[in-house]
A and B are shown apart, each in its own frame.
With several copies, the nearest count.
Chain A
Amino acid sequence: MTAELFSNLAIFVLSLLVGVEVIGKIPSTLHTPMMSGSNAIHGVVIAGAVATVTLAHSPLGYVLTFLAAALAAANVFGGYVVTDRMLEMFTRHAPAAASDPKDPS
């Protein structure tokens, strides 16, 4: 059992806790944007794709790097753009919501 593993495990567990708490109770209106917003965040796997470059030395390795990069890029770019487009519509008329009574922050 390496110290590195424990470190990563602790980071994992604490991040789970943050994830549980950060959502709070959100109005169902925001369920879809929230879903697509968090979807964009797991596009961070593109960083993983970048890291795999250092591992790729065989044709198969290159193919996998290419695959990982393509798929991840689609996720991260598409995810943020579509979320922004959606929220742009939501917030267009939203000043009212600024004084949202059940502010969960």
Chain B
Amino acid sequence: MTTFDFAVGVVYLAASTLFVVGLHLMRLPSSARRGNLISAGGMVVAVLATVVFSLHESGGSWIGWLALLFGAALGAAFGIARARTVKMTDIPQLVSIFNAVGGGAAAAVAFADFVQHTTGTALGLDSSIPIVLDVVIGSITFSGSLIAAGKLQGIISGSPITFPGARLVNVLAIIVALAAGVFAITVGNDVWLLAAVLVASLLFGVLLVLPIGGADAPVIVSLLNALTGLAVAMAGFAIDNQALIIAGALVGAAGTILTLQMAKAMNRSVAAIVLGGFGTGDSKSSAAPDAQDLSNVHQVSADDVAVQLAYAQQVIVVPGYGLAAAQAQHEVAELAKLLMTHGIDVKYAIHPVAGRMPGHMNVLLAEANVPYEQMLQLDEANVAFDNCDVALVVGANDVYNPDARKPGNPVSGMPILDVDHAKSVVILKRSMRPGYAGISNPLFTDPKTGMYFADAKVGLAAITAAVKEYVTA
């Protein structure tokens, strides 16, 4: 190891430290943004060091450098453009796409290393094994993440997709990947072997994610994020680059912990999710049950709701997935503002897993400029419900389902918002259809509940109009 290599290594350590500090700061809303910038700083340091290193090695031809520059420019343009324009609620699918490209890049790096060795020196186990692992994991995250993104985007049906013989194909893919992998490691140096590993792994990745419900996709994205980290670490082993090993392992571990915490918040087990099948994400598919049974449902109109709200002192809005689906965050914020100008106290009760991605509601309402102080987390909210006149539920279903307190159903044990403690409840949704968990909510038929059937955006606008009318009249 030359002094130069040593210096580069030390710079890598510095960069890695910045990554860690950055992640650490991201644990608090107040410091999160700074944390991300610090981590970005670490990235700049790591990349510059590598550029200097490669120039110094000077093994590369100008064509290689051109290919690198063009590629980087293209990728950067694409990434930045998407990042700038993406709708806040579409972030999970974008993250998923970034996982895909990250995994792909890791696989490509390993592949390049392998190819170079076919022409050059033979491979030792200590680089052939990580190369194969890298290609396997990288390919799985590549194809898997694309499917996950498709599901979240709605391009691919959110409902679990399975077809006869899927298992069989799966097993075959695994066998091929294994066999080719072992050969590539032992026999070594044949590009086609590695290509076989690549293809088989890509196929496996697809079949892994297809059967998973769209609503579980966020968790899968987080899991694939961790896997991508591992792939990058393997690439680091392959080309003996410590920055890749450290950062990759860092993300691999952190991502795993994060995934577990997410699943816990949804009281689902990661295993159950990967095995897939239960969550469907779009309520329609699980519509069949009592969708038409409107007996003993007390329906209300926008005007009824307006009057109820106008007479209230303390209103709590309970936003759910429907609010996001209808993109109605601005309408709800407007209604809240209106009520508050008339001295009515309005708060939002945010359930940790309301919506379809963690923090979904916070992102939405933040986008509509709702101040932090007005968003109550689960515990604060459940205190507030006790002296709340009207709980206005918008496109939510599971997050306040009292059955969660009873055992033996999909939401059992999930902490819920005690909407049923409010003096009166208004539920705005399009129908009696259940939500993610696929079970109906007894509050729909509760005497103190008024059901207002409408699209969230339309319905909220109507209520706002009605309130305006009522108070000016």
A residues in contact (CB < 8 Å) with B = 1-6, 8-58, 60-98, 100, 103-105
Contacts and interface: CB of A to CB of B under 8 A. Distances in A.
Given A35-B221, A89-B363, 4 more contacts: A51-B50, A64-B112, A87-B36, A91-B29
Contact of B67 (A12, A56, A71, A104): A56
A81 B28 contact: no
B163 interface: no
Given A22-B24, A57-B119, A72-B105, A40 B40 contact: yes
13 contacts: A5-B126, A6-B9, A16-B250, A27-B377, A29-B359, A32-B360, A35-B225, A36-B95, A48-B105, A54-B59, A55-B112, A70-B75, A74-B76
Interface in B1-26: 1-3, 5-6, 9-10, 13, 16-17, 19-20, 22-24, 26
Contact of A46 (B3, B105, B252, B359): B105
B122 interface: no
Contacts of B92: 32
Contact of A66 (B29, B71, B222): B71
Interface string B22-66: 111011111011011101100100110111011001111101110
A96 B372 contact: yes
A34 B43 CA distance: 16
B460 interface: no
A77 B60 CA distance: 24
Contact of B255 (A38, A52, A77, A104): A38
Nearest to A26: B27
A75 to B, nearest CB: 4
Name the 7 nearest CB pairs between A and B, nearest first: A19-B253, A78-B79, A73-B75, A69-B71, A31-B358, A54-B59, A15-B249
Interface of B: 1-3, 5-6, 9-10, 13, 16-17, 19-20, 22-24, 26-30, 32-33, 35-37, 39-40, 43, 46-47, 49-51, 53-54, 57-61, 63-65, 67-76, 78-80, 82-84, 86, 88, 91-92, 94-95, 98-99, 101-102, 104-106, 108-109, 111-113, 115-116, 119, 124, 126, 191, 218, 221-222, 225, 228-229, 232-233, 235-237, 239-258, 261-262, 265, 350, 352-353, 357-360, 362-363, 366-367, 369-373, 377
Contacts of A69: 67-72, 75, 105
A63 B108 CA distance: 9
Nearest to A91: B33
B40 A70 contact: no
B115 A41 contact: no
Contacts of B79: 73-79, 81
A46 B72 contact: yes
A44 B237 CA distance: 14
Nearest to B20: A17
